[in-house]
Amino acid sequence: MLLEVLSALLQVLPVSAGGALGAGLGRLSLLFAGRSRRVAQGQLLACGFGPTVVSDHFAELGRRAAELMMGRRLLERGDVVVMPSARAVLDAPSPRPRLVLTFHFGHWELCAAGLAQAGYAVHALAAPSKHSPLHRALEHRRRSLGVTTHSKIGSALRHLRSGGMLALLVDLSPRRHRHIVSLLDYTIPASSLALRLLSATGARPICVLTQRGNDGRHLIEAFDLEGAADPLALAYAHLDHALREAPAQWIWIHPREGLPGGSP
């Protein structure tokens, strides 16, 4: 109910004011974040980023939540931009399906919506719904923004094998099927799901990253991973570059195995 009230308020506020409200609530949540604050602070400091990035990170999370509720308005305003270089990668002719590797960096929810609005029929592989009010609200928001998700690997595989484009977040902590990559000068385990999907379908790998620009717009960039000996490692190299530029825009509240300082 509180989310619905906040969402209704954000529909009448100017977009800039709504984003500022979300950022303010995000900074305020630091007072109650407890474990999440300790995890984010430990990892950020261990990776060489200053203590102010912790507050900036929580402000970014709050702002993203508000922007998701205002998603349709942001799309209509042109605040989610598929860069020309990204279009060149996504539009390159290929008879094979395309597997999009992306991360919890930038506003990944608006990234999917922005690609859908730009005419790219990208389906997303997402965790199964927990049937909580928050998850139901998120699913409704995704559908309203034109985003199609799969919660089962079987349906995602069928979409890929039919020639479709499938996106998945690859920076999830792997429980098994690990693949070693490098990030911020550390060696960390990553899920090998993307590599297994590539092997099973012969898909063309693409890395997509969304970053908030200096003007507040969400800029979608794409990188062709075709021909790379290790597409997953190359995707992480692109994340590494983006992280060093804008560390507050990654999700630091989850402990990342291999990164020091993340224990609660």
Domain-embedded: residue 256: no
Pairing label, strands 98-102, 204-212 = parallel
According to the model, what pLDDT value does residue 94 have?
86
Range of the domain at 190: 2-249
In Å, how far are 90, 153, 166, 203 from 157, measured between CA atoms?
Answer: 20, 6, 9, 11
Place of tokens 């190299």: 237
| Confidence (pLDDT) at 263 | 52
b/e burial code for range 162-173 (CB count within 10 A of at least 16 → b)? eebbbbbbbbee
* Mean pLDDT score, 156-180: 90
Has residue 63 got a pLDDT over 50? yes
Residue 264 has pLDDT above 60, yes or no: no
Does a structural domain hold residue 254?
no
Q: What is the pLDDT of residues 132-167, one digit of tens each?
A: 777 777 787 888 888 888 888 899 999 999 988 999
How many domains is the chain built from?
1
The band of 130, judged by pLDDT with boundaries at 50, 70 and 90, is low
Confidence band, pLDDT 50/70/90 cuts, at residue 129 = low
115 domain residue, yes or no: yes
Look at residue 100 and tell me if it is in a domain: yes
Residue 254 buriedness (CB in 10 A; 0-12 / 13-18 / 19+)? middle
Sorting pLDDT into bands at 50, 70 and 90, what band is 96?
Answer: very high
In tens, the pLDDT along 189-216 reads 999 999 999 999 999 999 999 999 999 9
158 in a structural domain? yes
148-150 and 80-82 strand pairing:
unpaired
Q: Does some domain include residue 191? A: yes
Residue 78 domain flag:
yes
Residue 209 three-state SS: strand
Its pTM surpasses 0.75: yes
Question: Are residues 223 and 260 in contact, defined by beta-carbon separation less than 8 angstroms?
Answer: no
Segment holding 126, helix H or strand E: none
Q: Does residue 260 lie within any of the structural domains?
A: no
